[in-house]
């Protein structure tokens, strides 16, 4: 296939509706593709995406990771963030935040998440259509993160509104204003909150972050604020859309749905397949620190490269018959949560939330359907999912 016929940008309406046909074309005909409209190289094969994730010295995160048009510097828009840093700073920051974000803290959340899930499902209307996003998939991760950080319950709705605005502002359409206002509102909120936790330590993540220390070093104020914002963005919309995409997939695969309802032990492996099959994070960017020659193309130092996780996860070379949804597949090499040094810090939390949520949903609603005609897709380059998803 000639690359001349092929057009692709993560912000195209057709791509947002269904990216998988163009991903296949990219993998087969243009594995190193220059997207002039998005101003970036695009890697779509599993082998190439995985190799790039494993080589942060060449594929740097420090100049930003969200696909943006040429000339926009994401580092000017955000405070220092773990996810937008390279070693050695990344190694130090990750060590520091890992002191607070411990497996023990995550494992201890199981009972609390179960109660939240049950409470949200108790409010499901018996007959009427129900918006799965605003009624369930949205509030759940937002409440879990807010509770972990120690944010008072009365501030939850403001949180979700800010975070949604931030994620949905589309840099390719020049929509920075609303997103930046939401980021500013969050920074101000967190700054006051951090000061409060310094003065009055509690048993919550925010206090643990303030106190975290490695070899006498603490997180700076900017790093603390950046990390709080990162948790909100990275942990909230992603999990919401894993659940929303899962509802659509399970509605369209009734046999798998009933099998999962009958045997909850299958749910953990099914969550991995759901992550693979319709990944909530479709792709993130890197900036080249040196020239890279790949598949006959030359990518120059300073160019950005979009790594398509969503395409890598549908690559037949890595997952035989990749377009088939199969809860028995055990897709260990799926890259929906990244790979290498930036591998998702919240992976175990995301998996825990998804397992509890899907198990509870299927126990109560063995059969359900989604109304895709009335659903509203998210218009975000990196995130794939729904702003609204009516379910019956």
Of the candidate spans 112-120, 313-321, 338-346, 357-365, the one that interacts with ligand HEM by CB under 6 A turns out to be 338-346
- The one among 26, 133, 208, 345 contacting ligand HEM by CB under 6 A: 345
Alpha-carbon gap, residue 31 to 25, rounded angstroms: 9
Least separation, in Å, of the C-beta of 7 and ligand HEM? 25
Residue 153: CB atoms within 10 A of its CB come to: 9
- The one among 43, 52, 82, 142 contacting ligand HEM by CB under 6 A: 82
C-beta closer to ligand HEM: residue 264 or 340:
340
Helices 89-100 and 221-252: crossing angle in degrees, nearest 10, is 70
- The one among 138, 338, 381, 385 contacting ligand HEM by CB under 6 A: 338
Determine, following the binding rule CB under 6 A, whether residue 380 of this chain makes contact with ligand HEM: no
Residue 388: CB atoms within 10 A of its CB come to: 16
**CA dihedral sign, ordered 118, 362, 334, 107:** positive
Determine, following the binding rule CB under 6 A, whether residue 35 of this chain makes contact with ligand HEM: no
Determine, following the binding rule CB under 6 A, whether residue 149 of this chain makes contact with ligand HEM: no
Alpha-carbon gap, residue 251 to 142, rounded angstroms: 24
Secondary structure (DSSP) of 36-64? TTTTEEEE-SHHHHHHHHT-TTTEE-TT-
Binding string, 265-294, against ligand HEM, x = CB under 6 A?
---------------xx--x----------
Determine, following the binding rule CB under 6 A, whether residue 230 of this chain makes contact with ligand HEM: yes
Least separation, in Å, of the C-beta of 1 and ligand HEM? 28
Alpha-carbon gap, residue 200 to 265, rounded angstroms: 42
C-beta closer to ligand HEM: residue 11 or 227:
227
Determine, following the binding rule CB under 6 A, whether residue 160 of this chain makes contact with ligand HEM: no
291 DSSP 8-state letter = -
| Among 18, 46, 8, 82, CA closest to 307 | 46
- The one among 39, 179, 226, 346 contacting ligand HEM by CB under 6 A: 346
Of the candidate spans 174-182, 214-222, 238-246, 252-260, the one that interacts with ligand HEM by CB under 6 A turns out to be 238-246
Determine, following the binding rule CB under 6 A, whether residue 39 of this chain makes contact with ligand HEM: no
Binding string, 291-330, against ligand HEM, x = CB under 6 A?
------------------x---------------------
> Are 45 and 31 in contact, with CB atoms under 8 Å apart?
yes
Please enumerate in sequence order all residues whose Cβ is within 8 A of that of 195, keeping only pairs 6 or more positions apart, or say none: none
The answer, yes or no, to whether the previous bond of 88 is cis (omega within 30 of 0) is: yes
> Are 248 and 280 in contact, with CB atoms under 8 Å apart?
no
> Are 64 and 84 in contact, with CB atoms under 8 Å apart?
yes
C-beta closer to ligand HEM: residue 91 or 298:
91
C-beta closer to ligand HEM: residue 167 or 344:
344
- Range 43-72, binding ligand HEM (CB under 6 A): 61, 65
């Amino acid at each position: 296939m000639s690359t001349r016929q092929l057009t692709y940008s993560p912000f195209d309406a057709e791509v947002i509706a269904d990216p998988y046909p163009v991903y296949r074309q990219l993998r087969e005909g243009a594995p190193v593709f220059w997207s002039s409209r998005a101003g970036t190289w695009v890697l779509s094969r599993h082998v190439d995406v995985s190799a790039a994730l494993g080589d942060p010295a060449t594929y740097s995160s420090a100049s930003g990771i969200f696909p943006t048009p040429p000339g926009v510097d994401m580092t000017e828009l955000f405070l220092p963030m773990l996810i937008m840093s390279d070693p050695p700073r990344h190694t130090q920051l990750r060590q520091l935040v890992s002191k607070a974000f411990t497996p023990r803290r995550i494992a201890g959340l199981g009972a609390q998440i179960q109660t939240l899930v049950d409470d949200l499902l108790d409010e499901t209307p018996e007959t009427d259509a129900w918006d799965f996003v605003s009624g369930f998939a949205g509030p759940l991760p937002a409440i879990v993160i807010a509770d972990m950080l120690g944010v008072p319950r009365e501030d939850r709705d403001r949180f979700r509104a800010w975070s949604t605005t931030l994620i949905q502002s589309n840099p390719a359409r020049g929509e920075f204003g609303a997103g930046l206002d939401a980021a500013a509102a969050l920074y101000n909120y967190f700054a006051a909150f951090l000061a409060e936790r310094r003065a009055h330590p509690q048993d919550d993540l925010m206090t643990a972050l303030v106190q975290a220390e490695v070899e006498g070093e603490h997180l700076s104020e900017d790093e603390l604020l950046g990390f709080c914002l990162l948790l909100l963005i990275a942990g909230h919309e992603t999990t919401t859309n894993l659940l929303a995409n899962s509802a659509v997939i399970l509605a369209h695969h009734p046999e798998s749905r009933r099998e999962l309802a009958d045997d909850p032990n299958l749910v953990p492996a099914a969550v991995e397949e759901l992550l693979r099959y319709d990944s909530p994070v479709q792709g993130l960017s890197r900036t080249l620190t040196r020239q890279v020659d790949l598949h006959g193309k030359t990518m120059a130092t300073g160019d950005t490269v979009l790594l398509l996780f969503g395409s890598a996860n549908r690559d037949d070379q890595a997952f035989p018959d990749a377009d088939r949804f199969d809860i028995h597949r055990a897709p260990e090499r799926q890259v929906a949560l990244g790979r290498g040094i930036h591998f998702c810090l919240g992976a175990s939390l995301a998996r825990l939330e998804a397992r509890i949520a899907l198990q509870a949903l299927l126990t109560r609603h063995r059969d359900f359907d989604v109304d895709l005609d009335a659903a509203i897709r998210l218009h975000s380059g990196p995130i794939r999912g729904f702003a609204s998803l009516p379910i019956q």
